[in-house]
Amino acid sequence: MMPSFYDEGMLVAVLTTQPLDRALDYKAPEGGCHLGAFVEVPLGPRKVLGVVWRPGKGDYDYAKVRSVLRVLDAAPMRDEMRAFLEKAAAYTLTPMPAMLRLATRAPGLGDPPSMRKVYRRGPDEPDRMTDARRRVLDFLSEYGDLSFTLKELAELSGVTSSVIKGLVKQGAVAEEDSPRDLPFPPMDPSRPGKALTEDQARAAGHIAQAVQSGAYGTTLLRGVTGSGKTEVYLEAVAACLKAGRQALVLLPEIALTAEFLKRVEERFGARPAEWHSGATMTERRRIWKMVGQGQAQLVIGARSALFLPYQNLGLIVVDEEHDTSYKQEDGVLYNARDMAVLRASMLGAQVVLASATPSLESWANAESGKYTRLDLEARFGPAVMPTMRTIDMRAEKLQSNRWVSEELKRAVEARLEAGEQAMLFLNRRGYAPITLCRACGHQVGCDQCDARMVEHRFLKRLMCHQCGETKPMPTVCPSCEAEDRMAPVGPGVERLGEEAVELFPDARVAVLSSDMYGSARALKAEIEQIAEGGADVIIGTQLVAKGHNFPNLTLVGVIDADLGLQGSDLRAAERTFQLMRQVAGRAGRAEKPGTAMLQTYQPEHPVIRAILAGDEEGFWRAEAAQREAAGVPPYGRMAGIILSGPDVAQVFDAANALARNAGALQRVGAQVFGPAPAPIARIRGRHRVRLLVKAGKGVALQGAIAQWVGQLRLKGDLRLAVDIDPQSFY
Ligand SMILES: [Zn+2]
Ligand SMILES: [Zn+2]
């Protein structure tokens, strides 16, 4: 047992968020400190944040060891949390400082509790309105009742603080004193929930009982769109709160809507803590602290909410568990779904994985008995799954630069006449995926990446979807210098929107794409307005498939059902199947039956046929058999190693050296493939080379990989990233 308290002068090992390879020894400060305490320590000339991780090693001259500067006003990190971070680091092969950064993503953790000035909408109007003043007032009304610090309000509305002070004098903005961090209002789990069907009540009872057991367990809650998954897992949340434990509901960022929060608030009589990228710094700090003190009982959040310092977490719900956004693809490469299961198993907590179209991993875990599986078959209310059929595009004679078939066009017209909504789905942002010179055939590419630039007419720019680089639309060909010969090729949602306006001149057409709105909040507001009837024809990318309710939508036309089927990604079929099922599930949610029409050039493709047949079990079984035969996840283990650097020869040399010296892998029976240029061989000017590691299911892969890549000395600007269980093969 480690001592849990260290008196002044005793040695403690402090893990900091700085990129060092170990925890450093410090002397405990005056008054001593607890194991797990959040502290400030000197590092060179700086002061940095750290956590007392274990007793000091004492392998350094005691006289020269520096002291912890101070203990921060925050609950010490619990043993369980430290153990979780260590296990997560070992699983994802992430250095500990990076894990600690994930767990401390709230600014000002060291600030003392105190009062501060906050600003909200005041009762009066200013005597004179300027653009800057208008921006402040619009921003405040968009956020309703929330208040902000002066700095936040100035930054978020893009004005100087003197503009806000001016508005305060006029009474249009109110200045108030507020404690820095307020507890969240208590949830009332005893309020009655929605009436449940027999099916739902059985599932809810099952999970609630598991929660009450206080033991670990994972349940796969499968149900088609609208089958009442949310009602069911909210009952599990209620059981958890009643047991006096905290609950966490993870959602893909885009599904965290006002509509969803309203449902939660109605169920429990108070607003939960919301943790997402749009939360202000002040709010993040408050949530972090209150979660740690047990004064936030329920957190609804995007994936990083998993790393908050819960005191007594009893339930984690991962809604839309198949969603690819749970895999962090930048920095620490982790899958929030898998880490949720890991964390719960260490805590004696329950996990609910909810989805209409589960990932093959979760399906297989349920098949093998590792997870409990509960199915909700009946849709909530009278609606049923939409009728689905294909439109064989080989038989269609479309004009050039047209993508909507005659059959789909007529179907849309019929909905418009009936006063219903129709959706045209195309999973491609922007106006056109290719910009081509008609004189020489040159295609405009990104200067930094091996990717084509995508025209975004709405932004009047070409954009690289890999690195975000933009440039103006060229009028002269960058290759042959011919003038005015650049032409768009292929459709994106913006261009499809133009076609829809021409085809349906009397309809209100709305294009929904993540890049067309300034913020996630503005986008969600737009989606809600459209769902309430603000448009007749909705043109959308995959974001419309995520949890939004369009009660008046009765037709979904998929412009290119083949889009996801190409490519070498092992999950291509699974993704297409899930996406098409989800999109189709948007149609006919209320009283009106829906139809989904899939435009395809390969109607006989097994994935397209499985989608049409609605034979999910059949699809999974076939897909599982294929993966099992190939020995790939979830029936084998994989890891991607990406080496990158500015000099392509140097990157290949390093990758070849690794491939040649793979003894550590061979000893555990793992195989190395490559090196080969990564599917995207250059991003932001860095050349990327990939190695793939494949091993049997029971192999302890991480240790072998750590040993294997540990022998490579990364010289100069060379970087190495390890992706355990890669989701995509960038
Ligand atoms: Zn040209
Ligand atoms: Zn680029």
Q: How far is the CA of 455 from the centre of ligand 2 (A)?
A: 13
* Other CB atoms within 10 A of residue 213 CB: 12
User: Nearest ligand, CA of residue 464?
Assistant: 2
Helices 198-213 and 229-242, axial angle in degrees (round to 10): 30
Q: Tell me the torsion sign for CA atoms 359, 361, 364, 368.
A: negative
Q: How far is the CA of 481 from the centre of ligand 1 (A)?
A: 6
Residues in the chain: 730
Is pLDDT above 70 for 578?
Answer: yes
Query: pLDDT band at residue 591, thresholds of 50, 70 and 90?
Result: low
User: Nearest ligand, CA of residue 682?
Assistant: 2
Give the containing element (helix H, strand E) for 47.
strand 46-55
pLDDT of residue 88: 94
Is pLDDT above 90 for 429?
Answer: no
Q: Rounded to the nearest 5°, which phi and psi values hold at 340?
A: -65, -45
pLDDT of residue 113: 61
Cβ burial 609-635 (10 Å sphere, 16+ → b, else e) = ebbbeeebeebbeebbeebeeeeebbb
Percent of the chain with pLDDT over 70: 94
User: Nearest ligand, CA of residue 484?
Assistant: 1
Q: How far is the CA of 444 from the centre of ligand 1 (A)?
A: 10
pLDDT of residue 632: 83
Q: How far is the CA of 436 from the centre of ligand 1 (A)?
A: 8
Q: How far is the CA of 43 from the centre of ligand 1 (A)?
A: 56
Percent of the chain with pLDDT over 90: 45
pLDDT of residue 379: 56
pLDDT of residue 207: 94
Is pLDDT above 60 for 381?
Answer: no
Report for 180-184, 297-301, 382-386, 623-627: range of highest mean pLDDT = 297-301
Decide: helix, strand or coil at residue 548: coil
Q: Which residues pair with 675 in a beta bridge?
A: none
| Mean pLDDT on 201-211 | 93
Distant-in-sequence, close-in-space partners of 171: CB < 8 Å, separation ≥ 6: 122, 123, 124
List the strands of the sheet with 246-250, edge to edge: 273-275, 298-301, 246-250, 313-319, 350-355, 217-223, 372-376
Q: How far is the CA of 470 from the centre of ligand 2 (A)?
A: 8
Q: How far is the CA of 465 from the centre of ligand 2 (A)?
A: 7
Query: pLDDT band at residue 380, thresholds of 50, 70 and 90?
Result: very low
d(CA 91, CA 702): 6
Q: How far is the CA of 450 from the centre of ligand 2 (A)?
A: 7
d(CA 682, CA 685): 6
Q: How far is the CA of 331 from the centre of ligand 2 (A)?
A: 18
Q: How far is the CA of 447 from the centre of ligand 2 (A)?
A: 7
Q: How far is the CA of 445 from the centre of ligand 2 (A)?
A: 8
Decide: helix, strand or coil at residue 170: helix
Query: pLDDT band at residue 590, thresholds of 50, 70 and 90?
Result: low
pLDDT digits (tens, 9 = 90+) for 229-258: 899 999 999 999 999 999 999 998 777 777
Neighbours of ion ligand 2 (CB under 5 A): 446, 448-449, 464, 466-467, 469
| Mean pLDDT on 90-118 | 82
Q: How far is the CA of 685 from the centre of ligand 2 (A)?
A: 8
User: Nearest ligand, CA of residue 684?
Assistant: 2
Is pLDDT above 80 for 725?
Answer: yes
